[in-house]
Amino acid sequence: MDIQFYGANCFSFATRGVRVVVDDNLSDLGAKSVTKPGDILLFTGAHGNPPVETKITVDGPGEYEVSDVSIYGIAARGHMEEAGTHNATMYKVLTRELNIFIPGHIYPELSDEQLEAIGIVDIMLVPVGGNGYTLDPIGALKIIKKVEPKIVIPSHYDTNGITYPMPQQDLAHALHEMSMEPKETTSKLRAKALELSDVTQLIVVEKS
């Protein structure tokens, strides 16, 4: 599986001829959309119209099966929402190779029911930029400790080419607060299940 990061909370991961794109709101943040025709597109929160004709666009809770990819949307409390509201969507994506968890901009408390739905996670893509916009490093760390993924990839921190409505922390500061050292920094992560450690490792995927 190849994983690329495009800034904000936008990732793509490709496996066996299928490409999944997450939170491509880049055109709203001063960057260029990366979604291609035929992609599977996931949104964890509010979004505009898909930039191209996708295979499927998912933006809410439910179970979806597309091209040998199983997608589970899990309702969650948004980062700045009041208790009892669930207007954000987390995703567990199961492929033949790896299980990926995408929390998005959520409040950093997960119920036992949510954790059961999340289950075993190989790779977690988690925002760390904070400042009231999304998870801060402490909130991200809470979720990491609950989920215990094998790999953590940070997102939604200050990067060139992205203009956020609210300034985001830079990555070095965020990782310092999380007390996590990157195992690796790469322009594209090529991950295989057999190569994953049982101990959670942080990998930085540089913005493409």
- Going by C-beta distance under 8 Å and a sequence separation of 6 or more, which residues neighbour residue 177? 136, 137, 138
Model confidence at 188, in pLDDT bands (50, 70, 90)?
A: very high
Q: How far apart are CA 87 and CA 45, in angstroms?
A: 7
- Going by C-beta distance under 8 Å and a sequence separation of 6 or more, which residues neighbour residue 191? 1, 3, 97, 98, 122, 123, 151
Instruction: Answer for the pair 101, 117: CB distance below 8 angstroms, yes or no.
Output: no
Structural domains present in the chain: 60-205 (3.60.15.10)
pLDDT score, position 194: 66
Q: Which residue has the higher pLDDT, 39 or 132?
A: 39
Q: What is the pLDDT of residues 90-117, one digit of tens each?
A: 999 999 889 999 999 999 999 999 999 9
pTM: 0.95
pLDDT score, position 193: 73
